[in-house]
Amino acid sequence: MIKINLLKTFLAADTGEGFGLPEDEKNQIIIDFTKRMVLVLIAPLALYFYESSHLPVLQEEINQLNAKIADLRQFNEKKKSLTEEIKRYEQDQAKLNGQMSFMRTISNEKVNELNLFLFLQENTPESVWINKLELQGSNLTMNAESDVATDINKFIDRLATTPLLTAVSPTNQETKFDTITPGVSTIVFNVKASFASGVSHQ
């Protein structure tokens, strides 16, 4: 609106509508019009130059902030993924440990049985014969008999001194008479023991 009014005034003065005005007034009108036009143009030009000088800086700061936000999000995603991976690893490790523990238990029991049989084969006196062996976990129960009392004591002493067994103790002992041959008798005895833990098996 200001432009139009000023322009009309200027045109009126320039086309002669303002004919008859002194030259000084005409010049003053032109000068005033020019000043107002300059003021009208200065504001958008100043805004343009301000935006052109500051907008790239602001845009760069925004880009940097966006990059940092993206890095933080990526870090959080990686951390979340790493946490889940560690959890799965721990679960798998627990399963493997359970399986290994079970296998070791089975293996140790078999090794204990083998070592016990080898020991009995080498250390059982000829007069002693074993009727029954029971293995329950690490516990051993044995039933045997002999017609020589000293060999029974010798056999029990050997059981007590082997590193394979611990807590060896005879539980009961009785004499059994032969009904076919009078005067002949055997001594039946029981022994309890446990397999020693931490024994090195070969």
- Over the stretch 5-34, which tens digit does the pLDDT of each residue have? 544 554 454 444 444 567 777 777 887 777
Same domain, 102 and 147: no
- Average pLDDT over the chain, rounded to an integer: 76
The string of DSSP codes covering 153-194 is HHHHHHHHH-TTEEEEEEEEEEEEE-SSSTT-EEEEEEEEEE
CA angle 61/64/66 to nearest 5° reads 110
Q: 32 is written with which tokens? A: 């005033």
Structure pTM? 0.45
Rounded Cα distance between 178 and 99, Å, is 52
Least confident span in 2-6, 122-126, 177-181, 196-200: 2-6
- Quote the distance between the C-alpha of residue 106 and its chain's center: 29
pLDDT at 92 over 90: no
- CATH code, domain carrying 176: 3.30.1360
Dump pLDDT digits (tens) for 98-138. 766 655 655 666 777 888 888 888 999 989 988 998 888 78
Residue 89 belongs to what domain range?
1-110
Q: 169 is written with which tokens? A: 């103790």
Same domain, 85 and 1: yes
Structure confidence at residue 192 (pLDDT): 94
pLDDT at 60 over 60: yes
Structure confidence at residue 24 (pLDDT): 75
The answer to the question of residue 175 being in a domain is yes
Which among 82, 110, 138 is the end of a domain? Answer: 110
Q: How far is CA 35 from CA 26, 69, 97, 177, 187, in A?
A: 14, 49, 91, 144, 137
Q: What's the domain count of the chain?
A: 2
Same domain, 93 and 152: no
The residue ranking higher by pLDDT, 154 or 26, is 154
Same domain, 95 and 21: yes
Q: Which residues pair with 139 in a beta bridge?
A: 136, 194
The answer to the question of residue 8 being in a domain is yes
